[in-house]
Structure 1
Amino acid sequence: MTAIVDLAAGTVFLGGGGEGHAQPQNLLLKYANRHGLIAGATGTGKTVTLQVLAESFSMAGVPVFMADVKGDLAGIARAGDPEGKLKDAFASRAAQIGMALDYQAFPVTFWDIWGERGHPVRTTPAEMGPLLLSRLMGLTDAQEGVMNIAFRVADEEGLALLDMKDLQAMLVWVGQNAKELSLKYGNVSTASVGAIQRALLVLEGEGGDRLFGEPALELADMMRLDGAGKGMVNILSAEKLMNAPRLYATFLLWLMSELFEQLPEVGDPDKPKMAFFFDEAHLLFDDAPPALVAKIEQVARLIRSKGVSLWFISQNPADLPESVLGQLGNRVQHALRAFTAKDQKALKLAAQNYRPNPAFDTAEAIQAVGTGEAVTSLLEAKGVPGMVQRTLVRPPLSQLGPIEDAERAALNAASPMAAKYGTALDRESAAEILAHRAEEAAAASAPPAKPGDDDLWSMEAPHNRGRRYDPKLQIPPEPAAKPSRTRAGSSDSIATTFGKSLARQLGTKTGQALVRGVLGSLFRGK
């Protein structure tokens, strides 16, 4: 029987065998960080292939991250049922390709941006970066420039941007001090600030505010092994997230960038440090500006030396830019349908991406393979692309399909991540610091108390504050002092100007909701 994982040989078994199909097809772990593609029409078996690869990486001691866009990957946490409805089909397939059906469960950690079906996933605006946040909100170049200015000022003034309200406070101040900032940083249009504010409101409505805050996700908590040495399978609940595709794509790009920035260089390890699967990969590139696509290509190329294996899952290879597709050395192509002229052209292009096999026509094979079959090309020794083969993908060892909500909840409660990420933190950051500066500026601008003022009003005991004028006291309250209208001089520091401006705004619009916003750290080297 073929071993699913052979660490001595450095291979994981994908499938093969059977009449008209290839001999066992093994993915070389050493070349798994040359990345991969899983493609095929709906219902052809992409999700099963994804689950099979995740199992194999976990058995090899490689942590995995994948998004569950349909809610049916959670079954990897439970062993497959030898008496289930697919027992005969799985047993037949296993015998045909020469493997033992050793059903087993895998260690799983569930994550969810909303914190409903998994542990909350949070990051800070400062970590996400202006390029990703601008794309997330669909900002123009001019609006992205204003976002950069807001973050630049925050950095210079030591104002931590940890959540949405922090960025709200920064954008309010940028709008109030547009003229002063334009002299130092270039044109700051209040119209651009207003557009960002509206985009932030839309983002908040999509649930984007849940993404920003603390405690922020630490990558080490995803890159864990269980007691048996299996890699942790991290599953992001994305059924709800898929209703906000731009948020979904931006989050995955941010996570990939964090891996790139934080992991050390390891060259070509014997096996990856982590395997990362992008399901519905076309969402990463839909309406993406050329600069962002170029950065994704750059990261995909360079993250190989960090030991990260990237896998893109989409219906058609044409969904990915050529520059990114060229980085994917391992390919599993499920069936494509060619009903229209456009489909036929895409099929021919897909077939041209493979090293030909004289035994069959690749384009015809891509149309002919059934559910659970694929046309595969895996890297061989020295990274040479393997000859295209028709392959029967092995059946999964874990349950195929979702698990019960009660079982998911029990797994979440038992996870050590529950205590770490379950409760949100709100430490002092930009919003609190700016509010404090505004109070100080307001106090400094108030006129001094008049000599001889009566204690009833000048001392203002706490129980008297906010009371209406009482004629029985015969002492009218002092009218509120009007804030100074003197503009900040050119010698004022940014911090002083900031405090005075925000004080003016707070004095005139008490209780007004601040606008929400974001910035970050991915692609600083733009």
Structure 2
Amino acid sequence: MADAGNAADSIFVGGGGEGYGLPQSLLLKYGNRHGLIAGATGTGKTVTLQVLAEGFSAAGVPVFLSDVKGDLAGLCAAGSASHKLHDAFAKRAATIGLDLQYRAFPVLFWDLFGQKGHPIRATVAEMGPLLLSRLLELSDPQEGVLNVAFRLSDEEELPLLDLKDLQALLTFLAENAEEISGRYGLVSKESVGAIQRRLLVLENQGGAELFGEPALELSDLMLTDASGAGRISILAGDRLMNSPRLYATFLLWLLSELFETLPEVGDPDKPKLVFFFDEAHLLFEDAPKALVAKVEQVARLIRSKGVGVYFITQNPADVPEDILGQLGNRVQHALRAFTAKDQKDLRLAAETYRPNPRFQIEEAIRDVGTGEAVTSFLEAKGIPGIAERTLVRPPSSQLGPVDEAVRAQLIAASPLKGKYDIAIDRDSAYERLRAKAEKAAREASDAEAEEQRKVDADREFERARRYDGKGYEAPKKTSSRSDSIGTAFAKSFARQLGTKSGQAIIRGVLGSIFGKR
């Protein structure tokens, strides 16, 4: 299904008038070669993102994007001649030779917090220790302890689904630090405590909502509607942006899951999914080398899975050079050059484009107005196109947010209605550790009672033995072994796991906790 201005094999992005270049289109067969939308605040990046999302959807390609300002929800509604910008849009459409037709696009709303869309969750195990360490801002020793927790989870069949599973396992690690250190390497109570404090901060930020089940099925991001248009999944990002590290980590997890799960497809005629990563600089700020290497690997290889990734940021310099070199489709809105660093960034941005003898790219990037850009899209055989000054086409859908009533109506009519709404808390690490704690507590309590019975019997025997016909000698005080270090540990661990018994767990040997299999 081609939209107005789009050919069957391309997305029309914009064109020229006097002083501008040739019409610019993104070829669908190179849509999985990734892209960049860059420019200073207020120069038109969001509208360009909206135009590309519309084009991919109209071509039957599902899209995932985050709506960090609430401006992209309008994709679900058709534009209108009554909109305040209609006259400007109509004038630009005439200038670039576009037959502008307003239309809505099929949208799925998502929200990590479950308020403005379907809840979207991942399990702790799916997130993995690397990304979770990044999310929690852990040091190397703390990350090592987290890796031990994941290893123990796998070996002892203790599924990590939500945060309370991880918290319960960390409690167990702290209480058995000495034994576990001998098996896996140093596990200090101080490191465990630091991780637990970071988890508390994450909970206070609402991050606990991300972890749990039912977990997101990636196939639900790759749907089309009855007409064949790709569904546009919009993640509500306005509240999420209050926790920028949570935002960046979640999107990176999603990319990694797509990379690891989808089959190889080579070079398809059009992408299977296009992923827009807005505020991309958040992904790379203070990121460790291992994480940047992971992003580079995903960006390099995920195109063979049929997924195109488009980074949206203010400055191309926000993206590491090795990743920037893989972004073949580019829309560069204006960059301001007020400082020496700004001027250097401007020069570097201009150097990444194929020169055009008609104008100086550096000057063009500095001078283009709102809604204009310097563009370069891959041409035949994947060759970068010559840079052109381009008037970006107006969107066909509504520019800006939609009423909450409209959003609620679309959520209620969604094909995924009810699938993710209710969280499931199935048997996992927390429940299994609690059950074993309670069982061990009962056994220890029975053993304590039996030992006390023996002590009482011994005392009675001693009392009878000392009877001299006149009375009893006062028996010597006998100490019970029941108040042992194991009992003290059990009471502590049982309390931390939320057990009511608060009795005892035998301390020391892992097998006594987990049993033999």
Q: TM-score, normalised by structure 1?
A: 0.87
* Residue segments in structure 2 that go unaligned for 5+ positions in a row: 454-479, 501-517
In structure 2, relative to structure 1, the CA distance for the partners of 1:482 and 1:102 (3 Å cut) is farther
Q: Distance in 2 between matches of 1:502 and 1:53?
A: 59
Equivalent position of 2:5 in the other structure: 4
Equivalent position of 2:469 in the other structure: none
Equivalent position of 1:366 in the other structure: 365
The answer to whether the 8 Å contact 1:173/1:501 transfers is no
Residue 333 of structure 1 deviates from its aligned partner by: 0.2
Equivalent position of 2:109 in the other structure: 110
Q: Deviations over 1:316-343 (max 9, x none)?
A: 0011111111110111000111111111
Residue 417 of structure 2 aligns to a residue in which SS?
helix
Residue 183 of structure 1 aligns to a residue in which SS?
helix
Residue 447 of structure 1 deviates from its aligned partner by: 3.4
Residue 419 of structure 2 aligns to a residue in which SS?
helix
Matched-pair identity in %: 66
In the alignment, residue 150 of structure 1 is paired with which amino acid?
Answer: A
In structure 2, relative to structure 1, the CA distance for the partners of 1:122 and 1:130 (3 Å cut) is same
Equivalent position of 2:179 in the other structure: 180
In structure 2, relative to structure 1, the CA distance for the partners of 1:89 and 1:120 (3 Å cut) is same
Residue 23 of structure 1 deviates from its aligned partner by: 1.6
Residue 227 of structure 1 aligns to a residue in which SS?
coil
Q: Distance in 2 between matches of 1:508 and 1:408?
A: 44
Q: Distance in 2 between matches of 1:62 and 1:502?
A: 57
Q: Deviations over 1:29-67 (max 9, x none)?
A: 111111000000011000000000000000010000000
Residue 446 of structure 1 deviates from its aligned partner by: 2.0
Equivalent position of 1:138 in the other structure: 137
Q: Distance in 2 between matches of 1:115 and 1:259?
A: 22
In the alignment, residue 5 of structure 1 is paired with which amino acid?
Answer: N
Q: Deviations over 1:80-124 (max 9, x none)?
A: 002221111111111111111111000001101111111111110
In structure 2, relative to structure 1, the CA distance for the partners of 1:300 and 1:482 (3 Å cut) is farther
Q: In the TM superposition, what are the counterparts of 1:257-336 in structure 2 within 5 Å?
A: 257-336=256-335
In the alignment, residue 249 of structure 1 is paired with which amino acid?
Answer: A
Residue 13 of structure 1 aligns to a residue in which SS?
strand
Instruction: Output the aligned Cα RMSD.
Output: 2.0
* Residue segments in structure 1 that go unaligned for 5+ positions in a row: 454-480, 488-499, 514-526
Residue 417 of structure 1 deviates from its aligned partner by: 1.8
Residue 504 of structure 1 deviates from its aligned partner by: 3.8
Residue 389 of structure 2 aligns to a residue in which SS?
strand
Residue 332 of structure 1 aligns to a residue in which SS?
strand
In structure 2, relative to structure 1, the CA distance for the partners of 1:57 and 1:483 (3 Å cut) is farther
The answer to whether the 8 Å contact 1:176/1:501 transfers is no
Q: In the TM superposition, what are the counterparts of 1:97-496 in structure 2 within 5 Å?
A: 97-447=96-446, 485=484
The answer to whether the 8 Å contact 1:159/1:433 transfers is yes
Q: Distance in 2 between matches of 1:289 and 1:191?
A: 23
Q: Distance in 1 between matches of 2:258 and 2:450?
A: 62
Equivalent position of 1:460 in the other structure: none
Residue 111 of structure 1 aligns to a residue in which SS?
strand
Residue 505 of structure 1 deviates from its aligned partner by: 2.3
Residue 17 of structure 1 deviates from its aligned partner by: 2.3
Q: Deviations over 1:414-473 (max 9, x none)?
A: 11322101111111111011111111111111236679x9xxxxxxxxxxxxxxxxxxxx
In structure 2, relative to structure 1, the CA distance for the partners of 1:36 and 1:482 (3 Å cut) is farther
In the alignment, residue 505 of structure 1 is paired with which amino acid?
Answer: S
Q: Deviations over 1:460-488 (max 9, x none)?
A: xxxxxxxxxxxxxxxxxxxxx9866366x
Q: Distance in 1 between matches of 2:423 and 2:495?
A: 32
Residue 210 of structure 1 deviates from its aligned partner by: 0.5
Residue 136 of structure 1 aligns to a residue in which SS?
helix
Q: Distance in 2 between matches of 1:36 and 1:183?
A: 49
Q: Distance in 1 between matches of 2:153 and 2:68?
A: 36
Q: Distance in 2 between matches of 1:60 and 1:502?
A: 62
Equivalent position of 1:464 in the other structure: none
Q: Distance in 1 between matches of 2:253 and 2:58?
A: 27
In structure 2, relative to structure 1, the CA distance for the partners of 1:122 and 1:509 (3 Å cut) is closer
Residue 213 of structure 1 aligns to a residue in which SS?
coil
In the alignment, residue 405 of structure 1 is paired with which amino acid?
Answer: E
Residue 156 of structure 1 deviates from its aligned partner by: 0.6
Residue 6 of structure 1 deviates from its aligned partner by: 2.1
Q: TM-score, normalised by structure 2?
A: 0.88
| Structure 1, 410-419 or 265-274: larger mean CA deviation | 410-419
Q: Distance in 1 between matches of 2:10 and 2:489?
A: 61
In structure 2, relative to structure 1, the CA distance for the partners of 1:482 and 1:320 (3 Å cut) is farther
The answer to whether the 8 Å contact 1:107/1:232 transfers is yes
The answer to whether the 8 Å contact 1:177/1:501 transfers is no
The answer to whether the 8 Å contact 1:249/1:283 transfers is yes
Q: Distance in 1 between matches of 2:7 and 2:412?
A: 34
Residue 110 of structure 2 aligns to a residue in which SS?
strand
Residue 400 of structure 1 aligns to a residue in which SS?
coil
Q: Distance in 1 between matches of 2:240 and 2:18?
A: 42
Equivalent position of 2:490 in the other structure: 503
In the alignment, residue 82 of structure 1 is paired with which amino acid?
Answer: A
Q: Distance in 2 between matches of 1:14 and 1:53?
A: 7
Residue 291 of structure 1 deviates from its aligned partner by: 1.0
The answer to whether the 8 Å contact 2:274/2:309 transfers is yes
Residue 6 of structure 1 aligns to a residue in which SS?
coil
Equivalent position of 2:75 in the other structure: 76
Q: Distance in 2 between matches of 1:160 and 1:113?
A: 22
In the alignment, residue 283 of structure 1 is paired with which amino acid?
Answer: L
In structure 2, relative to structure 1, the CA distance for the partners of 1:501 and 1:348 (3 Å cut) is farther
| Structure 1, 21-30 or 347-356: larger mean CA deviation | 21-30
Residue 355 of structure 1 aligns to a residue in which SS?
coil
Q: Deviations over 1:479-526 (max 9, x none)?
A: xx9866366xxxxxxxxxxxx99734245668499xxxxxxxxxxxxx
Residue 292 of structure 1 deviates from its aligned partner by: 0.6
Residue 433 of structure 2 aligns to a residue in which SS?
helix
In the alignment, residue 76 of structure 1 is paired with which amino acid?
Answer: L
Residue 418 of structure 2 aligns to a residue in which SS?
helix
Aligned residues: 471
